[in-house]
Structure 1
Amino acid sequence: MADRGVRGEEPLNREPKISKLASVSITEDGYERNHCVQPAAEQLNARTHSVQVDGAVKEPLNLSITSLRTDFPQHEVICALQCPENRRHGMRTLVKEVQGIDWVNGAVMNCRWRGPLLKDVLGKAGIADSVEQEGTHVAFTSFQVKCQEDSWYGASIPLSRALDPDKEVVLALERNGKPLTIRHGYPVRVITPGVEGAKSVKWLDKITVQKEESPNYYMQRDYKTPLPQAVDSETAEKYWGVTPPMQEMPVNSVVVSPRKGDTVKRNEEGKVVCHGYALPSGDGGSVVKVEISADGGLTWSEAALEQHEGEGKWAWKFWRASVNMAPGNSGTILSKASDASGQTQSAVSPWNLKDVCYNGFGEARDLTVE
């Protein structure tokens, strides 16, 4: 299937062409996933914008962008931000129909994000003495634009994650060494490494420490994996309230080249060169292995992993391999990633109505081998 790029115009939903996306380790042209139109340029101003910190804190704060930049240590983290709907086309075509935009493999970006750690901002506000970490959440809110299914956009993560320095949750002011653009959350957005991208709220207005998850529609009725018995919108109704929102992402990999339907040439050794990217699970540590199969998964060989400066455990990994393939039609290359925690891709993900977190084997099918 060819990369189609734009998945929706208003609001804009777009993924870059996969060959361009995976041509460099640090992404410049990242995907765009929106549930609302982008705020107008005149609506957002770094000189006047502020972020309110409230809820179960000792001292509510109202922080300007200047304060976020100068009153706290600045932290840089390289991480892959990914839409949980990435690879939805795989579930739709390999298993059965699902609801939602038909994302292929490009709803992911690997960037350098810089700004104060959320734990430092919450440290300045002080968590109320009565708060127990278990069951408490930190909610992020943007009131800038009305969404398709709610009047505002919001999400939340557990307080324990927000306060853990190893989780590196950042209030990002910069992306790849430059101020954020509006399409990527200017003037400030949350970045939650290892957590699905819908929690990395753009155009951030407010941070609230509270006993419950964010009540926003997209937290409560969208980015969840209801039981397989939820086969349509009607049958899903009784499951939304008892299905926890997604947080961490699963280990994953994608074959970037060749693509489905390509004609490929073998080299002098009778092998086909292939490459792609792999993503770690939420807290599973770096991708440590990618295996490739050209015989439907009967045998596997290990791919070479590229190393990039400063990448750390949240970053994607590029892989490259050469596999033996006989001449003919209907050739298939599969990829399977494993991370430091031992988590590994399975052949196909369990079906869910929204098809979030699809992580079946990466694949390039219907290859003509010459």
Structure 2
Amino acid sequence: MCSQMLINPFRKGCVIFSKGLTRRPPANSSWIRTSSHGTQSSNSHDFHEKDGYGNSRRLTIAGLGAITVAGLYYYYKKNIPTVWAHENKENEVTTTAREPGSFVEGLPIYSSDEVAKHCNESTGVWISYKSGVYDITPFIKMHPGGNKILLGAGGSVEPFWSLYAIHQQPGILALMEEYRIGNLTKGEEHLAMANMDDPYANDPRRHPVLVVRTKKPFNAETPTSLLVESFITPTDIFYVRHHFPVPDVDLSSGDYSLEVIGLDEKYSLNLNLDQLKTAYAPHSVTAALQCSGNRRSEMNRVKPTKGLEWGQGAMGNAVWKGARLRDVLLAVGITDSDENENWHVRFDGLDTDPTSAPYAISIPLTKAMDPRGDVILAYEMNGEPLTRDHGFPLRVVVPGTTGARWVKWLTRIEVSRNESDSHWQQCDYKSFNPSTDWDKVDFSTAPAIQEMPVTSVVCDPQNGEKVKLKDGKIKLRGYAWSGGGRGIVRVDVSVDLGKTWHVAELVDPVKLSKQWAWTRWQANLPVQTTGQETEVWVRAVDSGYNTQPEGMEHLWNMRGVLAVAYHKIKVSVEEN
């Protein structure tokens, strides 16, 4: 029987492909294969190809999400450099003028039962969306995984769109129409969703001040002007980064537990939250959490990257409390050893894709076992139990590293000779040089991002703001932070394009090592001209005397991560 959910990952190296909507040859035309040229998006997956006449065409594959397409594209470039190309341009049907999924007069009518019969290669693979029926067979036949790409077909794609609402974009939906073969019988358009709950319906309520980047899954940042108001970022306005719906864990049911596996399964633990709290001494750490893509919007001004359009607020500072990971690993037989350099600790969360594959990553065992590394299994944030958005009931806190390593809703820990083999570890959260693009990337050549580089931001005023001077001076406030426990030793600010620099005042206490928290700074600088635009630059220097590069163009990478160049804003100034 064909499942209604159009989902399935196909894995080979970095390939984790979830079946989506693919390109159908336009009606009344013949097609040939030609080489492809492409680029990938973590939110919508864009490929570019040449048609039979050499014209550039945009191909968007609306797959099961951002997690899959980088690997798929990499595999295709290396193994199957072919895509369908239009041979007869005159007969191409324009599909973008109509609303995707709308009823189209003159096309054949198919019942949902008829669509359900087309669920494998022998019958052809059909899907439906609203009133539309689509045949995606051509792509299935050229896919290296063959029918392994399918867990189900012959049904509506709407449950898929419900889970990955981030892909409901006009370009993707319009492109899907090129596979259109008919209409669903009237009255059956909503059957697919009749008993389908919105997987995001049970997500928690959020504070309205958050700047929302995507609603499903929910991703939002803190307004930067609020970040500098307090050393500790209030939990309710702390930035939120999700890949899937938020798990809802009921501790009273007794279903939640943490599995910990040592060198082999003979050395393992299974703990509920109360056992973790009572068996291991609590430890608190004040640490900043920053998304790998923080400030990506600035990098996009150089050239578009692929990822959420984060400003400067995917960053926050909190007090975390929990059990030391080191203590838990000692209990499963892990010891301090030079061999630890070759081992890893893998983490799985309860947040999963529709195939039940969890969000999963790993960190080096040396970091986990370092007595000064302060890695904890946190059950509290800012003196209260973790909220659902921030990982209730348990998350790993890995100070000094990118937020991608801080797995929420933690359910499994394993010590392994190998890194996590998940997409997130192998084919995402890595950086490449500015000349590397999706058509030439080899993810195996770059290590996963762990410790973060030094960064700083002007939080107040904000870019484009009109500022009143007081006694001819402009007041500036912001934050600075470096990964690896390196403290901030200096913040430099310029209001004349770097001709002269002023040393800002560091508001918060600074340690030169084990400085996991951020440092806020402020400056009150003279501005010579009023009624004109002034450009403000800021850069930070950490305890290793690392500093930020001047321009994002020198850091640009296709994924838009590690955007840590000087922060530059323009403000209009006038006397008070």
Please report how far the alpha carbon of residue 278 of structure 1 lies from its aligned counterpart in structure 2 after TM superposition: 0.7
User: Taking every aligned residue pair, what percent have the same amino acid on both sides?
Assistant: 38
Distance across 2 between alignment mates of 1:333 and 1:227: 27
> In structure 1, what is the equivalent of residue 499 of structure 2?
298
Could you say if the C-alpha distance between residues 367 and 220 of structure 1 is closer, same or farther in structure 2, counting changes exceeding 3 Å?
farther
What is the aligned counterpart of 2:238 among 14, 30, 33?
30
What is the aligned counterpart of 2:347 among 121, 140, 143?
140
What is the aligned counterpart of 2:360 among 148, 154, 175?
154
What is the aligned counterpart of 2:479 among 277, 280, 287?
277
Please report how far the alpha carbon of residue 281 of structure 1 lies from its aligned counterpart in structure 2 after TM superposition: 2.8
Contact 2:491 2:540 in 1 (8 A): yes
Could you say if the C-alpha distance between residues 149 and 295 of structure 1 is closer, same or farther in structure 2, counting changes exceeding 3 Å?
farther
1:70-111: CA deviation from partner (whole Å, max 9, x where unpaired):
111111000001101000011111x22111110000001100
CA RMSD in angstroms comes to: 2.3
Correspondence 1:266 to 2:469: yes
Aligned residue pairs total 360
Please report how far the alpha carbon of residue 282 of structure 1 lies from its aligned counterpart in structure 2 after TM superposition: 2.1
> In structure 1, what is the equivalent of residue 248 of structure 2?
40
Distance across 2 between alignment mates of 1:39 and 1:362: 36
Distance across 1 between alignment mates of 2:514 and 2:497: 32
Correspondence 1:106 to 2:313: yes
Could you say if the C-alpha distance between residues 219 and 46 of structure 1 is closer, same or farther in structure 2, counting changes exceeding 3 Å?
farther
> In structure 2, what is the equivalent of residue 91 of structure 1?
299
Please report how far the alpha carbon of residue 360 of structure 1 lies from its aligned counterpart in structure 2 after TM superposition: 0.7
What is the aligned counterpart of 2:530 among 302, 318, 327?
327
Provide TM-score, normalisation by structure 2. Answer: 0.60
Please report how far the alpha carbon of residue 226 of structure 1 lies from its aligned counterpart in structure 2 after TM superposition: 2.6
Q: Return 13-22 or 286-295, whichever deviates more.
A: 13-22
Distance across 1 between alignment mates of 2:492 and 2:543: 14
The runs of 5 or more residues in structure 2 that have no matched partner are: 1-208
Could you say if the C-alpha distance between residues 8 and 254 of structure 1 is closer, same or farther in structure 2, counting changes exceeding 3 Å?
same
Contact 1:47 1:66 in 2 (8 A): no
Contact 1:46 1:65 in 2 (8 A): no
Larger CA Rg, structure 1 vs 2: 2
Contact 1:253 1:277 in 2 (8 A): yes
1:20-77: CA deviation from partner (whole Å, max 9, x where unpaired):
23311111121111111111355x6585421111141562111111121111111100
Correspondence 1:363 to 2:565: no
> In structure 2, what is the equivalent of residue 313 of structure 1?
515
Correspondence 1:186 to 2:392: yes
The runs of 5 or more residues in structure 1 that have no matched partner are: none
> In structure 2, what is the equivalent of residue 215 of structure 1?
421
Correspondence 1:352 to 2:554: no
> In structure 2, what is the equivalent of residue 242 of structure 1?
445
Q: Supply the AA of the counterpart residue of 1:196.
A: T
> In structure 2, what is the equivalent of residue 204 of structure 1?
410
Could you say if the C-alpha distance between residues 312 and 55 of structure 1 is closer, same or farther in structure 2, counting changes exceeding 3 Å?
closer
2:339 partner SS: coil
Q: Return 189-198 or 150-159, whichever deviates more.
A: 150-159
Contact 1:137 1:158 in 2 (8 A): yes
Contact 1:346 1:359 in 2 (8 A): yes
1:123 partner SS: helix
Contact 1:56 1:131 in 2 (8 A): no
1:170-209: CA deviation from partner (whole Å, max 9, x where unpaired):
1001001111011100000000000000100000011000
Q: Supply the AA of the counterpart residue of 2:499.
A: L
> In structure 1, what is the equivalent of residue 459 of structure 2?
256
1:308-343: CA deviation from partner (whole Å, max 9, x where unpaired):
599961111111101121213221111111111111
Please report how far the alpha carbon of residue 307 of structure 1 lies from its aligned counterpart in structure 2 after TM superposition: 2.4
Contact 1:249 1:357 in 2 (8 A): yes
Please report how far the alpha carbon of residue 130 of structure 1 lies from its aligned counterpart in structure 2 after TM superposition: 9.9
1:165 partner SS: coil
Correspondence 1:54 to 2:256: no
Distance across 2 between alignment mates of 1:149 and 1:292: 49
Distance across 2 between alignment mates of 1:121 and 1:45: 24
Please report how far the alpha carbon of residue 280 of structure 1 lies from its aligned counterpart in structure 2 after TM superposition: 1.8
Q: Supply the AA of the counterpart residue of 1:287.
A: I
Q: Supply the AA of the counterpart residue of 2:541.
A: S
Contact 1:81 1:196 in 2 (8 A): yes
Could you say if the C-alpha distance between residues 100 and 111 of structure 1 is closer, same or farther in structure 2, counting changes exceeding 3 Å?
same
Bigger relative contact order, structure 1 or 2 (CA pairs below 8 A, ≥6 apart): 1
Could you say if the C-alpha distance between residues 4 and 304 of structure 1 is closer, same or farther in structure 2, counting changes exceeding 3 Å?
same
Could you say if the C-alpha distance between residues 41 and 157 of structure 1 is closer, same or farther in structure 2, counting changes exceeding 3 Å?
closer
